[in-house]
Amino acid sequence: MRLAFLGYGNVGSAIATAAARAGHDVVLATNPDRPDGAAAAIARNPDLAAATTASAVEAVTTADVVVLAVPFGSLDTLLPTLADRLAGTIVIDATNPVGPGLTHGLGSQQAGAQHVAALLPDARVVKAFNVYGFENLSTPPTGPDGLRAVMPFAGDDADAKATVAELLVQFGWQPLDVGPLAAAVDLEHMTLLWVRLVRALGHPSRLVWAALGDDRA
Ligand SMILES: NC(=O)c1ccc[n+]([C@@H]2O[C@H](COP(=O)([O-])OP(=O)(O)OC[C@H]3O[C@@H](n4cnc5c(N)ncnc54)[C@H](OP(=O)(O)O)[C@@H]3O)[C@@H](O)[C@H]2O)c1
């Protein structure tokens, strides 16, 4: 598959690394505010040696899957410029709306992923990759006997979720379907918990969740 990344920072680069290692084509969309940034991200990451750069419009037009990994605050400006091009495309929303004092940035009234879906009404939005720090996203931690960590995901389009689940398996995760896109608000709260545990309380950044006893997960 061809995966386009909007955002090539901590999160975008880590997921792009996993995608490239799994044999997918990776294209990093350039940020018009910093035109050389995407090429620089490729140059410093040997796993991305075969990756390319393109304008956001070009990148998403040729992609099977688009990964959103930009600051939540930039979505309102960025996504309307791409909405037509993203009709029918799977969009993985890895962003998190975070408010002051480590609160949900939309007051828990609506998932950030639902906000994304409202900005991209014809895209097939799936929330994933948001509940852990970026440190875990290129190479997931494993438990005893190869136990895989779960990556929860949410969305309303069954086919899109099946594709994302397949990617998660390829990247080393145990996919865990948590239901419709509205459930993404719970995943965004899981983020807040992870950040509190790791960034405030000092737990190791490789802290991830496992779904013990769930043989469907
Ligand atoms: N950090 C984490 O551990 C973590 C974990 C899970 C989810 N998240 C979420 O993932 C998202 C990205 O976080 P991050 O830590 O990767 O941030 P980051 O390191 O600051 O990277 C943000 C990326 O977005 C690009 N960007 C910003 N505005 C843009 C625009 N208008 N058009 C195109 N590209 C633009 C930046 O480009 P330049 O570098 O050129 O400015 C950069 O590549 C956030 O929503 C965050 O809440 C973060």
Give the pLDDT score at 117: 98
Residue 207 in any domain: the answer is no
Q: What is the pTM of this model?
A: 0.98
Pocket test residue of 66, 70, 129 for ligand 1, highest count of atoms within 8 A of CB: 70
pLDDT score for 120: 98
Structural domain of 129: 2-200
Question: What's residue 213's pLDDT?
Answer: 86
| CATH number of the domain enclosing 115 | 3.40.50.720
Q: Are 129 and 199 in contact (CB under 8 A)?
A: no
> What is the pLDDT, as a whole number, of residue 162?
98
Query: How many structural domains compose the chain?
Result: 1
- Residue spans of the chain under pLDDT 70: 217
Residue 57 domain flag: yes
Separation between Cα atoms, residue 37 and residue 8, nearest integer Å: 8
Residues with CB under 6 A from ligand 1: 6-12, 31, 34, 37, 69-72, 74, 78, 94-96, 130, 133-134
Cβ neighbour number for residue 33 with a 10 Å cutoff: 7
Distance CA 161, CA 179 (A): 10
Q: Which atom of ligand 1 is nearest to the CA of 70?
A: 24
Note whether residue 206 is domain-resident. Answer: no
- Looking at residue 129, its pLDDT comes to 98
Q: Is residue 209 in some structural domain?
A: no
Q: Is residue 208 part of a domain?
A: no
Q: Does 177 fall in a domain? A: yes
